[in-house]
A and B are shown apart, each in its own frame.
Chain A
Amino acid sequence: MPEILEHHSALAHLGLAARAVATRDAGQGVGLAEAPYRAAVNLRGRLDDAGFAAGAEQALGCALPAEVGAVATAGELSALALGPGEWLVVGGSDGPALRARLLAALEGVFASVVEVGQQYATIRIAGPKAAETLQKGCPLDFDAAAFPAGRCAQSLLSKIDVLVWKRSEEPAFEVTVRRSFADYAWRWLHDAAREYGVAILAG
């Protein structure tokens, strides 16, 4: 089988796997890891269209969240509300299958289903200084009270567009950027975290 080039890491040139350690030392405030490829579909439609809402719910296993910044999760799939009538559906490693599943459930419905997983790279940043590191280059408020678990937000991180997702109560964030900005985002985060001590972790 030839290697699936589209799933090639956007940070392969940094040799992260060889530099990765198993866990962050107690003295290190930040752990950084490149998340593996994950399927993603940009989904657009009108929530007040009953056919769209029901079709999406059937495909995802949960209702689409209406409020921008909310995230709904069912099994391995999550729907992140990017804007009114726009979601990023992520999960699993089979983009074409995710797209096909949504297309089948939304047959005949006014909607847009576009597979976009390969244009993104995701970096996980975790640790007691993760929020402070992000805060250096992003105007969002990363305090747990303002950015609780289960929320996402789009903003700028040191001038590049980012989607930040706080998946759990842990002090950890997933930072998704355009693939071509992955190198810049990684180097910026690594540099910003250096004063706190930074560990490279396996994805």
Chain B
Amino acid sequence: MLLIDCPHCGPRAELEFSYGHEAHIERPKAPEALSDAEWADYLFLRDNTKGVILERWVHSHGCRRWFNVARDTVTYEILAVYPMGAEPPALERKTYV
């Protein structure tokens, strides 16, 4: 189980949180102008990174606030926690084959 460092409550067990999937996916400004392929890309297609992923979590059974997490999907190590709306911090990204 992950120990997630909520920016408001401190380190808490993963079961208190809900997962919000990949972060920084911007809703298209003019969805009516998109092709079906572009719309599908926005809705469904994710990077499925092997390595550092930027993702959203909500402390649903604690303070109920959303925040972003940078996590390595190979080691499960959480590298950074940062607020919604903020740019991700500079991170050293290991590469995997």
Contact of B16 (CB < 8 Å), options: A68, A86, A156: A156
Please measure, in the bound complex, the distance between the C-alpha atom of A156 and the C-alpha atom of B62, giving whole angstroms.
Answer: 8
**Contact surface of B with A, Cβ cutoff 8 Å:** 8-10, 12-13, 15-16, 61-65
Please indicate the chain A residues that have their CB under 8 angstroms from the CB of B10 in the complex.
Answer: 69
What would 16 A/B residue contacts be, using CB atoms closer than 8 Å? A68-B9, A69-B9, A69-B10, A82-B63, A83-B8, A83-B62, A84-B8, A84-B65, A139-B12, A140-B12, A153-B62, A154-B63, A155-B12, A155-B13, A155-B62, A156-B16
Binary flags per residue of A36-68, CB closer than 8 Å to B gives 1, else 0: 000000000000000000000000000000001
Please measure, in the bound complex, the distance between the C-alpha atom of A161 and the C-alpha atom of B64, giving whole angstroms.
Answer: 12
Please indicate the chain B residues that have their CB under 8 angstroms from the CB of A86 in the complex.
Answer: 63-64
Minimum CB–CB distance for B28 against chain A, Å: 31
- Are B62 and A154 within 8 A (Cβ)? yes
Contact of B61 (CB < 8 Å), options: A68, A69, A155: A155
Minimum CB–CB distance for A109 against chain B, Å: 22
Please indicate the chain B residues that have their CB under 8 angstroms from the CB of A155 in the complex.
Answer: 12-13, 16, 61-62
